[in-house]
Amino acid sequence: MKLLTYRIGDKVSFGVLTADGVIDGAETLGGEATSIRELLERDLTGRLERLSAGRAATYSPAEIEFLPPVPDPAKILCVGVNYVDHREETGHVDKPEHPTVFSRFADTQVGHEQPVVHPPNTRQLDYEGEVAIVIGRHVSVIETGADARAAIAGLSCYNDLSARDWQLHNSQWLPGKNFHGVGSFGPYLVTLDEFDDLGSVRLTTRVNGELRQDATLDQLVFDFTAILGYITGFTSLAPGDVIATGTPGGVGLAAKPPRFLAPGDVTEIEVSGVGVLRNEVVAAPEGAR
């Protein structure tokens, strides 16, 4: 099942994508949940799927504005240098004992087809296509692959855009990852039952139509079980929390010379079984920071 969050006029809601369009989830459930986060919190995904079967679409995708599938996660945690080729291109040769984990803020996120505003105080805005995990239940310990699958609601596309100069100011990556609205998520959250073999899920990134990144999840240094096992070693997770699992080789920083994004560039992050997350980079308004 493909879930999405959207705006139409003054209304913000969530829905199910079908071949005919978007079915409003809140209306279908009679108000039992008004967001994807509530849907997961109340364990209503199965009920929504049953009630949506055969139901007429409420809107066409062309009518709506896409928002991040979970606009208000309590936690966004990101894993750094988690593909072998990305480790090599950035000079990280040896496999670490533990994943590198850092945080994003919810207000850094934009949805599919929403503009990414180029921060005026960086010259090094870079793309990072990633597969995002969305957590489906409260969990405090992950030890096995079965534990991990049970904890994951589904997958989505993520562009963990980075202001590289700010990221590399010091050993903490937080500044380079948290400019307002510089990070995209969507267009859909696809429930995990739609994926038979997670290792074969393919992630690609295109900039202005040019392929820049291409990998499958079996190339992760730390797989989903290892990522979630490490994270739950220091914090619990809740429905709607988002884990960006790392970017493959091919980032702009590693090119010779580097290839950073500029206003007018279009990024497309594609995850097989999910779809394409597309965003245009636009110039910041005059006087913006």
pLDDT beyond 70 at 289: no
In angstroms, rounded to a whole number, what is the distance separating the alpha carbons of residues 181 and 178?
8
Average pLDDT of 231-243?
98
In angstroms, rounded to a whole number, what is the distance separating the alpha carbons of residues 196 and 24?
27
Q: Is 20 exposed, middle or buried (0-12, 13-18, 19+ CB in 10 A)?
A: exposed
Work out the pLDDT band at 37, boundaries 50, 70, 90: very high
Domains belonging to the chain, first-starting first, are: 2-67 (no CATH), 76-283 (3.90.850.10)
| Cross-strand bridge partners of residue 184 | 110, 159
Residue position matching structure tokens 């910041």? 284
Q: Is 183 left (phi over 0), alpha (psi -120 to 50) or beta?
A: left
pLDDT beyond 90 at 220: yes
Work out the pLDDT band at 288, boundaries 50, 70, 90: low
- How much is the pTM? 0.96
Nearest CA-CA partner of 188 in 280, 112, 243, 108: 112
Task: Pick the range with the lowest mean pLDDT from 130-144, 145-159, 273-287.
Answer: 273-287
Strands, E assignment, 9-139: 11-18, 21-24, 65-67, 76-80, 100-104, 116-118, 125-126, 129-135
Nearest CA-CA partner of 153 in 267, 14, 7: 14
The pLDDT tens digits of the residues spanning 141-200 come to 999 999 999 999 999 999 999 999 888 887 777 888 898 999 999 999 999 999 999 999
Q: What pLDDT, on a 0 to 100 scale, did the predictor assign at position 25?
A: 97
Q: What percent of the chain has pLDDT over 90?
A: 87
Query: Taking the CA of residue 95 as centre, how many other CA atoms within 13 Å lie in the half-sphere pointing to its CB?
Result: 7
Task: Pick the range with the lowest mean pLDDT from 61-65, 87-91, 247-251.
Answer: 87-91
Nearest CA-CA partner of 198 in 232, 230, 245, 236: 245
Average pLDDT of 111-125?
96
Q: What percent of the chain has pLDDT over 70?
A: 98
3-state secondary structure of 1: coil
Average pLDDT of 45-61?
95
* Average pLDDT value for the chain: 94
Residue position matching structure tokens 């090119």? 255
Task: Pick the range with the lowest mean pLDDT from 42-56, 78-92, 232-246, 258-272.
Answer: 78-92
